[in-house]
A and B are shown apart, each in its own frame.
Chain A
Amino acid sequence: EPEVTQTPSHQVTQMGQEVILRCVPISNHLYFYWYRQILGQKVEFLVSFYNNEISEKSEIFDDQFSVERPDGSNFTLKIRSTKLEDSAMYFCASSEDYLGEQFFGPGTRLTVL
């Protein structure tokens, strides 16, 4: 059964460093998403992406964040200069249709020291 994959499963970085979180969505899906969950908090929407453009972004998704689909398979989230408060579990999701079921990856746990 096709699934969304994410790498790495756990990333540790120093404050101020750049990180890139990688996702491989399901191959025929067209809509892509990033969510995050700070420990003990709610899962929060970050950004949606379609047709090589951001469709919607939340207040959390400031200038430090960017997303890219560099090739036909990967979907990445870049944090330019990490802060302690960026420590969270980051989930990637994809769907075939707008408003269709979103399929989630297992998440990348980001720890910023």
Chain B
Amino acid sequence: GDSVTQMEGPVTLSEEAFLTINCTYTATGYPSLFWYVQYPGEGLQLLLKATKADDKGSNKGFEATYRKETTSFHLEKGSVQVSDSAVYFCALSDPEDDKIIFGKGTRLHILP
């Protein structure tokens, strides 16, 4: 079945560092891809998404590009802030199905 694999955490970076969180997927069809973020004490929030190959999703300085050839959707940010500390989930859904398939999540900790 469809699945998502993302890099293990925790990831600890200093403020203003460059961030990459790797995500690869396996899908039989042509899925939509997502990054969700969970701040402490809050629910999962959609951070960005992409629905077709070479689409770039972006939000709050984060970006991810849908790479069909490498089945990847890596999350990047050029300069992280302490407020970016959270758990980040890569996810996919089949365009004909509303259930979301998540990765395990990557905890990000940014030091001031």
A-to-B contact residues, CB < 8 Å: 3-4, 31, 33, 35, 37, 40-45, 48, 55-56, 58, 91, 93, 95, 98-99, 101-107
A56 / chain B contacts, CB cutoff of 8 Å: 97-99
A40 — which chain B residues lie within 8 A by C-beta? 104
- Name B's A-contacting residues (CB within 8 A): 4, 36, 41-46, 89, 91, 93, 95, 97-105
A66 CA to B89 CA in the complex, in Å? 27
Q: How far is the CA of A73 from the CA of B3 in the complex (A)?
A: 33
B100 and A42 within 8 A (CB): no
A3→B99 contact, CB < 8 A: no
Q: How far, in angstroms, from A58 to B101 measured CA to CA in the complex? A: 12
Chain A residues in 8 Å Cβ range of B4: 42
